């Protein structure tokens, strides 16, 4: 097994290089009210005179039920009744939607993944059968692969033992695509039991070809606890299962409670965006000794240093301070010959409108994709802009972001600086923080102080 910290570090590395994928099993959809396979077959098992709690071959049970009924109609209807609802996803779904995971695979019949992306304003291309693999949606940054189909195409779902046995002929392209994905991407398996025979077959093929050199993958599993029934037996079985997964280079993080899975995803989200910086500010009429030209120069230099220092920029596309920071950042990227990194180094979110509720949602979206918030100026006379900057500061605190106020640049930034000053008192960063409020410091000295704080805290 590996530690939580090792998983976060390794998976974030894959996110940064665009090689991270996810596989979501039934366990991820259970918190929003959907059954797993065992619960779905509970009533059919009763009709067959069987106890679902004593059955382990659930695929065989589904096959026997279809044979007894003479067709798939009754079982298919049960699937539609249960899974045919548009339900917003869990926090796990939301976090994944906010990360650059472009490939999501699942054996679930529900529509939770698509609905989560829709509510987050992200298009996703859904592939449910072999034919759909031939096409791409250029407007969708995420592709969702439904290996067993879903409730939108009930006639083609993988349901019985016959479906599994003929999978490589009826869905050969899907099987091959998954094989290629396991070779090219690092997967994080969530809510998945690894009992699916199709997946076991693909894992076996990869192991046969790559032997000890297959790509590393990860999963998070609940470890049996002393309070559980038949604890020692289940613990021994769990340990053996974790060892067996290593044959396929699937590394396991063990948790005591399913809620820890969400916390680990939050750690991944925070670690990924830790090097992303949001610069918040407005108003050119700065305080004494900090005129408009100097403020412009500071913002431009700040943008350049963000890129030169290996950080990423999260920004709106509005005029003023955001535009100046963005200008400096883009110039540095092009000067350094790394313009191919544009989509990795910049998180840009255009916004127009004055509705406070929409603007607050927009601001929260920016901050969720940032690890640090730098506050500059607001020496202007626009009261709404001043109030908005203070709300952004409060939201940054609620979300646990690193707050770096350049107090010397304007009244509102000074107000935030005064509030944060006590957090740095008596620490090794006190001198750097004091420099952000000192009018005697040059722009270069201010920027040096900003990144002394960020590099230490991030």
| Residue 134 CB coordination number (10 Å) | 8
Q: Please report which helix (H) or strand (E) contains residue 372, including its range.
A: strand 372-377
Q: Is the pLDDT of residue 206 over 80?
A: yes
Q: Tell me what pLDDT residue 289 has.
A: 61
Q: What percent of the chain clears pLDDT 70, i.e. is strictly above it? A: 95
* Six-digit token string for 272: 């990924």
For the stretch 100-113, pLDDT in tens is 999 999 999 999 99
For the stretch 231-251, pLDDT in tens is 999 999 999 999 999 999 999
Q: Give the count of alpha carbons within 13 A of 136, CB side only.
A: 6
pTM to 2 decimals?
0.84
Closest residue by Cα to residue 37 from 200, 157, 208: 157
Per-residue DSSP letters for 198-265?
A: HHHHHHHHHHHHHGGGPPPEEEEEEPP-TTSTTHHHHHHHHHHHHHHHGGGTEEEEEESSTHHHHHHH
Average of pLDDT values for 319-329? 88
For the stretch 57-95, pLDDT in tens is 899 999 999 999 899 888 899 889 888 877 888 999 999
CB-count exposure of residue 261 (10 Å: 0-12, 13-18, 19+): buried
Return the residue matching tokens 């412009």: 296
For the stretch 16-65, pLDDT in tens is 888 999 999 988 998 888 888 888 899 999 999 999 999 888 999 999 99
Question: Distance between CA atoms of 238 and 233, rounded to whole angstroms?
Answer: 9
DSSP reduced 3-state for 115: helix
CB-count exposure of residue 425 (10 Å: 0-12, 13-18, 19+): exposed
Is the pLDDT higher at 340 or at 4?
4
Q: Give the count of alpha carbons within 13 A of 457, CB side only.
A: 24
Closest residue by Cα to residue 26 from 77, 90, 86: 90
Angle between helices 259-273 and 4-16 (to 10 degrees): 50
* Six-digit token string for 379: 């020496």
Residue 6 phi, psi (nearest 5): -65, -40
CB-count exposure of residue 307 (10 Å: 0-12, 13-18, 19+): buried
Q: Does the annotation mark 148 as catalytic?
A: yes
Burial 349-386 (b: 16+ CB within 10 A, else e): eeeeeeeeeebeebbebbbbbbbbbbbbbbbbeeeeeb
- Is residue 432 within 8 A of residue 310, CB to CB? The reply is no
- Is residue 40 within 8 A of residue 65, CB to CB? The reply is no
Non-local (6+) Cβ contacts of 80 within 8 A are 151, 154
For the stretch 402-415, pLDDT in tens is 999 999 988 889 99
Mean pLDDT of the chain: 89
- Is residue 200 within 8 A of residue 111, CB to CB? The reply is no
Per-residue DSSP letters for 373-418?
A: EEEEE--SS-HHHHHHHHHHHHHHHHTT-EEEEEGGG-HHHHHHHH
Catalytic residue chosen out of the listed positions 56, 82, 93, 148: 148
- 274-457: which CATH topology? Rossmann fold (3.40.50)
Non-local (6+) Cβ contacts of 337 within 8 A are none
Q: Tell me what pLDDT residue 286 has.
A: 45
Closest residue by Cα to residue 12 from 276, 257, 306: 276
For the stretch 349-408, pLDDT in tens is 776 566 667 777 777 788 888 999 999 986 666 677 778 888 889 999 988 899 999 999
If pLDDT is split at 50, 70 and 90, which confidence band does 181 have? very high
For the stretch 146-161, pLDDT in tens is 999 999 988 889 999 9
């Amino acid at each position: 097994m590996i530690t939580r910290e090792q998983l976060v570090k390794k998976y974030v590395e894959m996110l940064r290089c665009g090689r991270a994928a996810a596989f979501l099993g039934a366990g991820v959809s259970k918190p929003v009210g959907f059954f797993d396979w065992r619960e779905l077959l509970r009533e059919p098992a009763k009709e067959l005179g069987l106890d679902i709690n004593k059955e382990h071959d659930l695929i065989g049970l589904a096959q026997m039920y279809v044979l007894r009924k003479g067709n798939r109609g009754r079982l298919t209807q049960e699937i539609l009744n249960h899974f045919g609802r548009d339900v917003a996803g869990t926090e796990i779904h939301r976090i994944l939607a906010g990360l650059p995971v472009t490939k999501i695979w699942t054996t679930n019949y529900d529509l939770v993944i698509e609905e989560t992306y829709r509510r987050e304003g992200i298009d996703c291309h859904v592939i449910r059968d072999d034919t759909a693999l031939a096409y791409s949606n250029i407007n969708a940054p995420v592709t969702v692969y439904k290996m067993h189909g879903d409730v939108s195409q009930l006639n083609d779902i993988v349901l019985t033992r016959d479906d599994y046995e003929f999978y490589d002929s009826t869905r050969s392209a899907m099987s091959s695509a998954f094989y290629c994905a396991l070779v090219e991407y690092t997967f994080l398996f969530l809510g998945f039991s690894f009992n699916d025979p199709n997946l076991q077959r693909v894992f076996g093929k990869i192991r046969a070809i790559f032997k000890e050199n297959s790509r590393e993958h990860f999963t998070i599993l609940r470890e049996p606890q002393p309070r559980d029934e038949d604890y020692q037996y289940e613990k021994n079985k769990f340990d053996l299962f974790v060892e067996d997964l290593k044959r396929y280079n699937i590394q396991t993080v063990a948790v005591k409670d399913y809620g820890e899975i969400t916390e680990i995803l939050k750690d991944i989200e925070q670690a990924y965006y830790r090097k992303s910086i949001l610069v918040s500010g407005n108003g050119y009429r700065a305080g004494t000794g900090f005129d408009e030209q100097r403020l412009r120069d500071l913002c431009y230099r700040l943008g350049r240093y963000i890129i030169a220092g290996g950080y990423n920029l999260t920004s709106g596309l509005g005029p003023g301070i955001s535009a100046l920071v963005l200008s400096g950042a883009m110039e540095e990227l092009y000067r350094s010959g790394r313009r191919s990194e544009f989509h990795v180094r910049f998180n840009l979110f255009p916004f127009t409108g004055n509705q406070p509720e929409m603007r607050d949602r927009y601001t929260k979206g920016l901050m969720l994709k940032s690890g640090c918030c730098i506050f500059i100026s607001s020496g202007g006379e626009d009261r709404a802009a001043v109030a908005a900057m203070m709300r952004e500061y409060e939201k940054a605190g609620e979300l646990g972001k690193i707050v770096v106020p350049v107090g010397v640049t304007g009244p509102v930034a000074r107000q935030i600086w005064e509030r944060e000053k006590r957090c740095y008192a008596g620490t090794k960063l006190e001198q750097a923080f004091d420099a952000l409020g000192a009018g005697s410091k040059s722009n270069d000295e201010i920027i040096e102080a900003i990144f002394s704080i960020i590099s230490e805290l991030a």
